[in-house]
């Protein structure tokens, strides 16, 4: 029986368009045929050293050809990839490697010192492979061992229900949880994007999202699905993004709102040729309206969409099509083609149209569960529906509007306050770069509204000016009672504001 799996997508790409550029990085350029050949060679080399189907293999890489070849090599063997967050501390990496039961670890040479720091405390890891560096002290040089290996695909039967990856959440509310995604989940997530996102075969897609993140993983999958060129960046640099748009004639980009904001702060943006860009998208959190308007001005030939998803849903729940972005500016769109959603109250009863409820989702892209955490799995997936923890409302056309995170809702004086409503007002202020609103304990009101604000470079505001500005745009009881100024908001690698850290501070 024919199996739709991630390795099949690369094999198909090498057959259909072998000479098309597949990977562009600082290290060079590779066609689909070369990507397939190199992935196969890596797979054979790893197989000869004991990596086999079902093994959990942790990886830590910056974006580029090495990580793309390694991911596909591992999945060709039926191994489960456990991507590690390059921004995590050694202590955080230690937890994930041990929790994931990884038996091998493949690292890029930049992270050798970090991994050696925890190496003695990783008893389950029996093999270490280093990419881009020389073999040293019990670490095998990956590029050396695959030289001369076969370019034919290893004869491993991969099932659609086999686990392809364990993607760890950012841990915004506690310990990171390992999200189990099967090849089936990955395929349906890719199908969702191909059906509902402006993505054409041969598009040149800028891949800046780091590949340990669910959004980047999904970008990789849908690029493979239709045969796009992946133009990778090792680290984010807003000026370099604009230069690459010109140099590589980029057609599509996806960033979280905070990254778009950094790009929009660059001076002399009008000097860059952005005419090649046809498709823009945003994810990780809702994009402020002002940011949307400015992006449409910067990229006049591009449609702007917005995707709402999470790691547990293969990064796909709803999407806002470019044709709707101007008339539904505050919406995150309607469900992807293979996703259903419901909005429910605290007793899982459907709420009426226009009322606020928790967003539930189901479809073939929903995760298998959390690794080694059946309790969290059963709390999150009930009756086939995944509980997102996000609050939203639906309009008469079925468009979803994110109100806030359920846990972030502020109750002050008996009133329910949704921080995102206040944050939208703050983002519209010409001097404010970033803003987050949290509830802090108050002996009289239960909670008081506290705003944390980062100003644009060279700008200044007082606490009272911020409060008065809010009072002029929203009901008085919703205005912040206090304002704190910071240089930057703490964010997860996905770009989400870490409100837990703000509350602790």
Indicate the residue among 154, 182, 210 that finishes a domain.
Answer: 182
Give, in degrees to the nearest 5, the angle at Cα 476 between 472 and 481: 100
**What CATH code is carried by the domain that includes residue 35?**
3.40.50.980
314 within some domain:
no
Q: What is the pLDDT of residue 286?
A: 66
Q: What is the pLDDT of residue 283?
A: 75
**Do 146 and 130 touch, CB atoms closer than 8 A?**
no
**Do 413 and 386 touch, CB atoms closer than 8 A?**
no
Return all residues near 165 (Cβ < 8 A) that are at least 6 apart. 80, 81, 82, 83, 181, 186, 217
State the sign of the Cα–Cα–Cα–Cα dihedral 394, 258, 292, 198: negative
**Do 449 and 481 touch, CB atoms closer than 8 A?**
yes
Q: What's the whole-number mean pLDDT along residues 19-47?
A: 97
Helices (H) then strands (E): counts for the chain: 15, 27
Give, in degrees to the nearest 5, the angle at Cα 76 between 39 and 214: 90
Least confident window among 20-34, 233-247, 475-489: 475-489
What is the per-residue pLDDT across 133-149, written as a single tens digit (0 to 9) for each? Answer: 776 778 898 888 888 89
23 vs 48: CA distance, rounded Å: 26
493 vs 209: CA distance, rounded Å: 9
What is the per-residue pLDDT across 46-72, written as a single tens digit (0 to 9) for each? Answer: 999 999 999 999 999 999 999 999 999
**What CATH code is carried by the domain that includes residue 493?**
3.30.300.30
Q: What is the pLDDT of residue 129?
A: 95
Q: What's the whole-number mean pLDDT along residues 182-200?
A: 94
**Is the pLDDT assigned to residue 172 strictly greater than 50?**
no
Share of the chain above pLDDT 90, in %: 65
Stronger pLDDT, 434 or 287, i.e. the higher one: 434
361 vs 59: CA distance, rounded Å: 30
Number of domains in the chain: 2
Q: What's the whole-number mean pLDDT along residues 98-105?
A: 97
Q: Which pTM was predicted? A: 0.83
87 within some domain:
yes
Confidence label for 285 from pLDDT (cuts 50, 70 and 90): low
Residue 420 sits in which domain range? 413-504
419 within some domain:
yes
**Do 287 and 260 touch, CB atoms closer than 8 A?**
yes
Give, in degrees to the nearest 5, the angle at Cα 308 between 305 and 314: 115
List, as one string, the DSSP characters of 484-501: EEESS--B-TTS-B-HHH
Indicate the residue among 182, 199, 232 that finishes a domain.
Answer: 182
460 within some domain:
yes
Closest CA to 489 of 407, 443, 426, 442: 426
Residue showing tokens 């290996």? 149
Q: What's the whole-number mean pLDDT along residues 450-468?
A: 92
List, as one string, the DSSP characters of 9-67: HHHHHHHH-TTSEEEEETTEEEEHHHHHHHHHHHHHHHHHTT--TT-EEEEE--SSHHH
Least confident window among 54-58, 277-281, 414-418: 414-418
State the sign of the Cα–Cα–Cα–Cα dihedral 372, 378, 379, 381: positive
Indicate the residue among 147, 182, 217 that finishes a domain.
Answer: 182
| Gyration radius from the chain CA atoms | 23
What is the per-residue pLDDT across 247-273, written as a single tens digit (0 to 9) for each? Answer: 999 999 998 777 888 899 898 898 999
240 within some domain:
no
Q: What's the whole-number mean pLDDT along residues 78-107?
A: 93
Mean pLDDT, all residues of the chain: 90
Closest CA to 358 of 407, 323, 322: 407
């Amino acid at each position: 029986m024919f199996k739709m799996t991630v390795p099949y997508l690369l094999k198909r790409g090498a057959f259909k368009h072998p000479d098309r550029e597949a990977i562009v990085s600082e290290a060079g350029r590779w066609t689909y045929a070369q990507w397939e050949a190199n992935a196969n060679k890596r797979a054979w080399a790893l197989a000869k050293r004991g990596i086999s189907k079902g093994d959990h293999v942790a990886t830590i890489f910056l974006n580029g050809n090495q990580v793309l070849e390694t991911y596909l090599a591992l999945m060709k063997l039926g191994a489960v990839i456990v991507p590690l967050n390059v921004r995590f501390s050694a202590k955080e990496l230690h937890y994930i490697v041990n929790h994931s039961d990884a038996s091998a670890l493949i690292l890029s040479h930049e992270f050798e010192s970090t991994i050696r720091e925890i190496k003695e405390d990783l008893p389950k890891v029996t093999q270490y492979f280093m990419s881009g560096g020389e073999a040293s002290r019990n670490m095998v040089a990956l590029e050396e061992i695959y030289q001369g290996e076969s370019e034919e695909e290893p004869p491993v039967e991969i099932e659609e229900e086999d686990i392809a990856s364990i993607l760890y959440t950012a841990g915004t509310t506690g310990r990171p949880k390992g999200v189990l995604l099967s090849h089936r989940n990955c395929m349906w997530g890719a199908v969702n994007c191909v059906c509902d996102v402006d993505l054409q075969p041969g598009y040149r897609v800028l891949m800046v999202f780091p590949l340990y993140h669910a959004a980047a993983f999904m970008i990789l999958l849908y690029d493979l699905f239709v045969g796009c060129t992946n133009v990778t960046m090792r680290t984010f640099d807003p000026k370099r993004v604009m230069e690459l748009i010109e140099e590589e004639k980029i057609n599509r980009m996806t960033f979280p709102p905070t990254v778009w904001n950094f790009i929009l702060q660059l001076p002399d943006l009008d000097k860059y040729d952005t005419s090649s860009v046809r498709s823009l998208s945003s994810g990780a959190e809702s994009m402020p309206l002002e940011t949307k308007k400015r992006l449409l001005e910067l990229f006049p030939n591009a449609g702007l969409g917005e995707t709402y998803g999470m790691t547990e849903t293969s990064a796909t729940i709803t999407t806002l099509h470019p044709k709707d972005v101007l008339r539904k500016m505050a919406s995150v769109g309607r469900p992807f083609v293979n996703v259903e959603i419901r909005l429910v109250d605290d007793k899982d009863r459907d709420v009426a149209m226009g009322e606020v409820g928790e967003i539930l989702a189901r479809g073939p892209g929903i995760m298998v569960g959390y690794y080694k955490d059946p309790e969290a799995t059963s709390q999150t997936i009930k009756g086939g529906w995944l509980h997102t923890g996000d609050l939203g409302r639906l309009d008469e056309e079925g468009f979803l509007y994110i109100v806030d995170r359920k846990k972030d809702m502020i109750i002050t004086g008996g009133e329910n306050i949704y921080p995102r409503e206040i944050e939208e007002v703050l983002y519209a202020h010409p001097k404010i770069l970033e803003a987050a609103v949290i509830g802090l304990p108050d002996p009289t009101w239960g909670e008081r509204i506290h705003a944390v604000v980062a100003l644009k470079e060279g700008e200044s505001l007082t606490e009272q000016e911020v409060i008065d500005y809010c009072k002029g745009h929203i009901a008085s009881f919703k205005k912040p009672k206090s304002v704190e100024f910071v240089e930057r908001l703490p964010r997860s690698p996905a770009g989400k504001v870490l409100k837990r850290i703000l509350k602790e501070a």
